Amino acid sequence: MVRRLWDKGEALDEAVQQFTIGNDPQLDRALIRWDCVGSAAHAQMLCSIGLLNKKECQAILDGLREAWELGVKEEFDIPFELEDGHTAIESFLVEKIGEAGKRVHAGRSRNDQIITAMRLYLRHQTLSLIEELSAWNDALSKRYDELKDVDMPGYTHLQRAMPSSFGMWLEAFDESVLDLIREGFSILDALDSNPLGAAAGFGTSLGLDRKLTAKLLGFSRVQRNPIDVQNSRGRYELRFLRWTEAVATIVEKLAWDMQLYVTEEFGFISLPNELTTGSSIMPQKRNPDVLELLRGRAARVRGAASELAWVTAKMPSNYHRDFQYTKEPVMKAVGNVFESVRLMAHAVSTFTINPDALKEAMSADLYATYEAYRLVKDGKPFRDAYRETSKQVADGTLDVDALSADFAEIKTSIDIAMSEARAEQKALDAQAKDLRGKLDAVEAGVFLLKA
Amino acid sequence: MVRRLWDKGEALDEAVQQFTIGNDPQLDRALIRWDCVGSAAHAQMLCSIGLLNKKECQAILDGLREAWELGVKEEFDIPFELEDGHTAIESFLVEKIGEAGKRVHAGRSRNDQIITAMRLYLRHQTLSLIEELSAWNDALSKRYDELKDVDMPGYTHLQRAMPSSFGMWLEAFDESVLDLIREGFSILDALDSNPLGAAAGFGTSLGLDRKLTAKLLGFSRVQRNPIDVQNSRGRYELRFLRWTEAVATIVEKLAWDMQLYVTEEFGFISLPNELTTGSSIMPQKRNPDVLELLRGRAARVRGAASELAWVTAKMPSNYHRDFQYTKEPVMKAVGNVFESVRLMAHAVSTFTINPDALKEAMSADLYATYEAYRLVKDGKPFRDAYRETSKQVADGTLDVDALSADFAEIKTSIDIAMSEARAEQKALDAQAKDLRGKLDAVEAGVFLLKA
Amino acid sequence: MVRRLWDKGEALDEAVQQFTIGNDPQLDRALIRWDCVGSAAHAQMLCSIGLLNKKECQAILDGLREAWELGVKEEFDIPFELEDGHTAIESFLVEKIGEAGKRVHAGRSRNDQIITAMRLYLRHQTLSLIEELSAWNDALSKRYDELKDVDMPGYTHLQRAMPSSFGMWLEAFDESVLDLIREGFSILDALDSNPLGAAAGFGTSLGLDRKLTAKLLGFSRVQRNPIDVQNSRGRYELRFLRWTEAVATIVEKLAWDMQLYVTEEFGFISLPNELTTGSSIMPQKRNPDVLELLRGRAARVRGAASELAWVTAKMPSNYHRDFQYTKEPVMKAVGNVFESVRLMAHAVSTFTINPDALKEAMSADLYATYEAYRLVKDGKPFRDAYRETSKQVADGTLDVDALSADFAEIKTSIDIAMSEARAEQKALDAQAKDLRGKLDAVEAGVFLLKA
Amino acid sequence: MVRRLWDKGEALDEAVQQFTIGNDPQLDRALIRWDCVGSAAHAQMLCSIGLLNKKECQAILDGLREAWELGVKEEFDIPFELEDGHTAIESFLVEKIGEAGKRVHAGRSRNDQIITAMRLYLRHQTLSLIEELSAWNDALSKRYDELKDVDMPGYTHLQRAMPSSFGMWLEAFDESVLDLIREGFSILDALDSNPLGAAAGFGTSLGLDRKLTAKLLGFSRVQRNPIDVQNSRGRYELRFLRWTEAVATIVEKLAWDMQLYVTEEFGFISLPNELTTGSSIMPQKRNPDVLELLRGRAARVRGAASELAWVTAKMPSNYHRDFQYTKEPVMKAVGNVFESVRLMAHAVSTFTINPDALKEAMSADLYATYEAYRLVKDGKPFRDAYRETSKQVADGTLDVDALSADFAEIKTSIDIAMSEARAEQKALDAQAKDLRGKLDAVEAGVFLLKA
């Protein structure tokens, strides 16, 4: 087993070690997979410039693939005394193939090593979240077809305002999710740049071939400046987390809507039993815990983003050990946001509607604006139409049936929106599928020794 | 003068009015310009579907152009009793052209009106900030040519680590700014969608032609779903603010670097007098206040983003009056970030270097890693090379002159990076210029009555 | 007129001046009052140790009192070119009494000057907010007497849970407000320490009598260490802002409750016209804007606290110019929280209840837990009682009338709570009144030359 | 083994269970101890009002004590399928003593049960952190005695400003820590209120004796209103976290100072080997990782506080399931802040000073202000003295030796401050010791059946 990388023989106080290592061994389990991929590319490149011979390189690649397989299953063990995943992988290699295992570290610092692993991790998670969002949209779209003609009141200020429908409401979230997916692709573009080779932030004098590692890792660009590579530690993480915050905010908004709709007072929808729990003290109750926890999860994601901002902001250039703490909030956000999107898709798919309550809620005054618009079409200035309609509402003389056709027209426009949204979704899905194929090929290919 | 839009004759307690109106009249001054543009497009569209006749429309467009001219100069006055910019513009129109001035409100709510004005404002500010960032990059690039060969220590953990140079450092920020510009374009893409026509969030029954207003306003897409339009209130604002946060963070990092470099202890650079101030109590001092305030401005921008998140998050769908408070943080961030980028470009352009201090700081041990790499090239495993070099450093036998060539190679790679970055910058500048031309044409054209 | 304090003749670029001065002249208007009080104490002390003669001191005190009078009315003008309140006051003094006006600056830096002014301001605002909270509690207490026996459902998970009442609900907020008042007093205790005399953070060699200025300013303690004085810049501000955040959070919670209760769906209460507004597009609506803005104000206060934390955290010891930006968030929070408490007290005082809706909402199942408790009293384990009661609810056989007496007992306990809370409130009011008297005496006395 | 409390036989989707339970079983391990204490008090009270007989009560108390013993060692196991600590304790009781184990739940909801456990936990942690802070102050105080006469430059704007000393610097942090301890006691006062008996937030009809449980648990007051009890969920947690934030901010400030002082450029102090680490790539380096991680820990604590604010704010009254997520940030802050204070005390105790570097840094111009003050004492207005001294500095004619006496006077004042601070510390230590004794007695006594 190798010693800690920086060990020159001094004894170290155990409490200090506990403090400095912290929960790194747990957190790094999720990065082993990506650290192996990055290391394999680095080894191939070292071989191509003559700093590893083919035999060494082959041995290293074989060892890394073995570690990678464990990493994919998150079963690669990182003993506390090895401190972190990088050291654990090196130790693993040395055990498998002897001293040659150390040679992969040439021209690399733990700094660009972790930045590379995190970049690969973020790229993977971004694409995965895009896929998850797409599945949520499928659920919204399916429910749309079932419920699009069910009316419900539309609210402003939480007061009944105008006619709305389940179709309009579900399609709205479909559009929001599309927006999130588009933002996800812009993040993939930002992440598409190879940090490997920056070493400790000032380059190396080994003549590393950074374009080669870029190609092996599936990056379109090289992140050219080594100081910029260091300074980007946390920068892309934060951008990713701001996106997960945006995702969680849309989940939260839909969860809040549903929480209102399941109250006895609104009573528009009901949840299946598996999304509610009983009370330990009140026998009559079923509580929409899952919806509340979805709101709570958004709070957690925001807390994670806030933590990351605090860790990385207000700092001079280059590496500082504080940046060790960039990993925890990223993984916390990932853990929370995927589960949230999945559960929300389930909630969307399984709620049922309460037609009587909805019918009763569609009170005549909701149609007042339509009447005002009719008068406008007949040439009245809106302000006057508004005053006249106001009176009809007060008198109870508003003729709702006559106004239903106006609502039907609006619903038709939503139907058109839905079909346009579906077409966009389809194109984005194809783009995601392409990228997934490319990334799979990167992972499959990086452990195969290039001729 | 028109009455407040919602006034039906009730007396209103003055304190409540003070509370509800707040600083809207001041904030809305910055939106008058965009509210007029949005209103002009709406009027043209109403005319095209027969809800305004040409004469009315011409009169409205003329009146709006007059208000717009004042708005561009931020000289359009909003009296407190008119509450907000929307009412003030309507009042202005009625004074100019009589009752016809009210007709522009047909098929529009203050909700989609403000969302439209804010969308146009954000698009304008995003492009403007891209232009400002580009100017900053020009300053970095110019300084690079002057100082690229001046060496300075590179730090990790704030400890001297490896050779660096002003060239490497300045080019790093050039790359970061390029990154920010790219993110800016992704925001422009998100903003490129027409919210006008969503009314209060549930559409209208007037058969509005939303594709026409999209075209008139220079939007590529229609934001299709009216609930989604409402729900996007604050969403794009927050995305824009997260970007200004990213911008401010890069400014802050460079300011922090420079603050360290101007201390007596580092002493690498000096600032021109206009960027420092004296002390009221210590006669001998010159303080780098501007750099500290640049760091402080980043804090303000983060505060603004945090405020906006608090206003908009954790809310059910649709409009709530809380959203009135989305404007202040946006304008606060805008105010702070533009000035910051401008001042930082000035600081970059005017600092001077202190060659003696820099020379002294380039101590031999900085080159230790290069020596280790030499040994690696000669076939030593890095770990062993590391131990051997470690000994040379301790013995003072490290041969720096022999290692300088290695540093020269790294500098060459930075030179290549700089020229690639310049090419990218040029392409992005061209893209920004195109869009600026298009947006100028939108503003010039929207007040001209379409045949 | 004096020149800017640090001016040694250099020309200054106007943009830099705009950047560095910012909105200080506006913000400092609120501090003139306290700067004059602090300066007067300093002058008296300088006189007592022989650094001012009595005549000079008298002249300075007279001049300061004049400025103070303007400051109390927030009418003291700070021209932009004088940069800040400190310079403006000195300029004012020099105009009134000639060169002697400059002598008050001996042994003082702008650093301890602003910290002193801010300490006095915070002490004043803390006490004022305590007084405001007490007035809110009076409103809650009065409404309690009127409405205590009106039943309403109690909710958990926003689902109807158990019987509650307006009495229980109003008394709950009374208790929360008491808690806030107690926290306010703990802040007053923290603020009760004199920073004046720390100069730029390293003391002075003038032998200043800091105990004397403490006494003159009504502080019980001297803040002994000058570095600690500097390092406390922002520390007490943040503690105060965290308190305003807590205040705003209680206002927000009550506003949220009331927003639910005024929906058509709940319909428990109605608001007077002056707390609602109409819609510009929907003739039939009245919207509870004030309640929504109260929630929005809490967001603003949190944003302000977040901004302040960003300005002050992550900094080495001693003064940095960033701290100029500590003032704005403090004043923003003050502006928002006072108005919020006042408007909420008004809302509490003026809502009306809708007895029919409340009666209907008090459904039988709310009493299920009481029935379970009855069975427990008869010896059943709670889990079994729970299952039996559950069945009664399902069968509709729950006997509500028999259970009403149980609810009456709970109400009695709330009545006792209210009277205990009132007694506590009375004691705290007396404490606040004492302190107010003392602070008034400080302000009245500090301008009178001590014998 | 008992079933989940709310189980009525429905099948539950496993993913939902995973989502709703989350990491509760881990988090609750830290609360088992306090949940047992709270439950014991509840059992005693039920016995006193006849809802448990003595034999049952004795059995319950014995069982709880057994669980408590495991809880103190954090060895009480919570299987995932039991969801949380409450259920696990009940299950444990039932296994030990049969069905009687369920009777302790009478008159209690999981809501007031967790609030009580958390209140006890917070009280314990607050006192423990006070004790930890006091130990830190002992370290500061000891170092003060050693180093008080070692001079170092005092900085403003990170520029050398005036003479300072290790004594002044260390005493400053001693004062800050005293301030933190005082704030800790104000939090203990806020926490000193018994929530037990509020049940689900609307009281019970069982006639519980809440004064008795208050007494048994060592609370001075009963938190009277059950809605207020629910609404205080998260409120005291946040107040505690804001305090840990303040603690972490002081640690961070001192860590930042030390990081500057250990740079080659400042070079004032050195760290012992156990507080530094080497580099994996640069053989010559020793890095102050512990100091950087201390700064990073402050970021984590702020992130935790932000998360908690997001979970709890913007919510209507009463219990929502979101509040389950209040536990994680509390425990995260606790975990980080205790370790930080302990490590910082170690760093304070073990750094060494570099006299040569310090001597060199004490440049003559630092004394300029003293000279200006001398001129002021001789009757010059400060502004004129400032100008004259300014000239002396420029000419290099400042007589430092003559001014040293002035510095000595300031140091004497710091010595007096230190002795006053020690006296205050002693009084606060005594207060902490008293409370610790009382809380120990509560824990020892609560499991003993009252006659």
Instruction: Return mean pLDDT, chain A.
Output: 93
The predicted structure's pLDDT at residue B424:
98
Task: Check pLDDT > 60 for residue A10.
Answer: no
- The C-alpha of C100 sits at a distance from chain B's nearest C-alpha, in angstroms, of 17
Q: Give the closest residue to A274 by CA, choosing from A354, A343, A340, A341.
A: A343
Comparing A13 with C11, the larger pLDDT belongs to A13
What pLDDT, in 10s, does the model give residues C369-402? 899 889 988 888 777 888 888 888 888 899 898 8
Q: Give the H or E element holding residue C156.
A: strand C151-156
Per-residue pLDDT reduced to its tens digit, C271-327: 998 899 887 767 778 899 999 999 999 999 999 999 999 999 999 999 999 999 999
CB B285 to CB D372 under 8 A? Answer: no
Q: Examine the pLDDT at A278 and tell me if it is beyond 90.
A: no
The pLDDT score that the predictor gives to residue C17 is 87
pLDDT tens track for D378-424: 888 777 888 888 888 888 899 899 899 999 999 999 999 999 999 99
Please give the Cα distance from B257 to A33 (Å, whole number). Answer: 35
The confidence band for D451, taking pLDDT boundaries of 50, 70 and 90, is: low
The mean pLDDT value of chain C amounts to 93
d(CA D62, CA D447): 7
- DSSP three-state, residue C221: strand
> Percentage of chain A surpassing pLDDT 70?
97
pLDDT value of position B6: 43
Q: What are the pLDDT digits (tens) for C101-145? A: 888 988 999 999 999 999 999 999 999 999 999 999 999 999 999
Cα–Cα distance, C410 to D208 (Å, whole number): 11
D332-360, pLDDT tens digit by residue? 999 999 999 999 999 999 999 999 999 99
Asked if A157 is an active-site residue, the reply is yes
Name the closest residue on chain D to residue B163, using Cα atoms: D282
Nearest by CB to residue B290, choosing from C16, C320, C328, is C16
| pLDDT band (50, 70, 90) for residue C338 | very high
Instruction: Kindly compute the dihedral angle of the four CA atoms of residues D421, D423, D429, D431, in this order, to the nearest 10 degrees.
Output: -120
Task: Tell which C residues from 366 to 425 touch D, by Cβ distance under 8 Å.
Answer: 369-370, 373-374, 376-377, 381-383, 390, 403, 406-407, 409-410, 413-414, 416-417, 420-421
Q: What is the DSSP track for B325-388?
A: GGHHHHHHHHHHHHHHHHHHHHHHHH-EE-HHHHHHH--GGGGHHHHHHHHHHTT--HHHHHHH
Mean pLDDT for the stretch of residues D274-278: 87
Residue partners of B251: CB distance under 8 A and separation at least 6: B294, B297, B298, B340, B341, B344
The catalytic position among A157, A205, A280, A419 is: A157
Q: How far is A280 from chain B (nearest CA, A)?
A: 27
pLDDT of residue A285: 81
CA distance B275 to chain C (A): 7
Pick from C86-90, D9-13, D56-60, D155-159: least confident:
D9-13
Say if residue A1's pLDDT is above 60: no
Size of interface C-D (CB pairs under 8 A): 283
In this prediction, residue A9 has a pLDDT band, given cuts at 50, 70 and 90, of: very low
Could you say which of A186, A220, A279, A390 is catalytic?
Answer: A279
- Angle between helical axes of B32-48 and B54-72 (0-180°, round to 10): 170
Spans of chain B below 50 pLDDT: 1-11
Across the interface, do A322 and D302 touch by the CB < 8 Å criterion? no
Mean pLDDT rounded to a whole number for chain D: 93
Neighbours of B91 (CB within 10 A): 20
Q: Which of B186, B279, B390, B404 is catalytic?
A: B279
C1: pLDDT strictly greater than 60: no
CA distances from A315 to A89, A312, B340, C43, D159 (A): 30, 7, 17, 41, 18
Q: pLDDT tens digits for C230-262?
A: 999 999 999 999 999 999 999 999 999 999 999
Indicate the DSSP class of residue D267.
-
Q: Quick check: C271 and D331 in contact, CB under 8 A?
A: no
**Residue of chain B whose Cα is closest to the Cα of A164:** B202
Please indicate whether, in this complex, the C-beta atoms of C7 and B302 are within 8 angstroms of each other.
no
Rounded to an integer, what distance in angstroms lies between the CA atom of residue B225 and that of residue A421?
A: 10
Q: What integer pLDDT is reported at residue C380 of this predicted model?
A: 84
Round to whole Å and give the CA distance between C99 and C1: 10
B354 touches chain D (CB under 8 A): no
pLDDT at D287: 93
CB contact under 8 A, A281 and D109: yes
pLDDT by residue (tens digit) across B186-244? 999 999 999 999 999 999 989 999 999 999 999 999 999 999 999 999 999 999 999 99
- DSSP code per residue over A137-199: HHHHHHHHHHHTT-EEEEEETTEEEEEEEHHHHHHHHHHHHHHHHHHHHHHHHHH-EE-TT-T
Catalytic residue among B157, B205, B280, B419: B157
The pLDDT score that the predictor gives to residue B382 is: 78
Give the confidence band of A102 by pLDDT, cuts at 50, 70, 90.
Answer: confident
- For the full predicted model, state whether its pTM sits above 0.90: yes
The complex's ipTM? 0.95
Q: Which chains lie within 8 Å of chain D at 3 or more CB pairs, if any? A: A, B, C
Convert the pLDDT of each residue in D118-172 to its tens digit. Answer: 999 999 999 999 999 999 999 999 999 999 999 999 999 999 999 999 999 999 9
Q: Give the per-residue pLDDT at A2.
A: 40
Confidence category of residue D102, pLDDT binned at 50, 70, 90: confident
HSE toward the beta carbon, residue A16, CA cutoff 13 A? 18
> B309 and B279 in contact (C-beta within 8 Å)?
no
Residue B320 appears among annotated catalytic residues: no
How large a percentage of chain C has pLDDT more than 90?
82
Asked if D43 contacts D101 with a C-beta cutoff of 8 angstroms, the reply is: no
Q: Identify whether the C-beta of residue C258 lies closer than 8 Å to the C-beta of residue C288.
A: yes
C104 vs C39: CA distance, rounded Å? 7
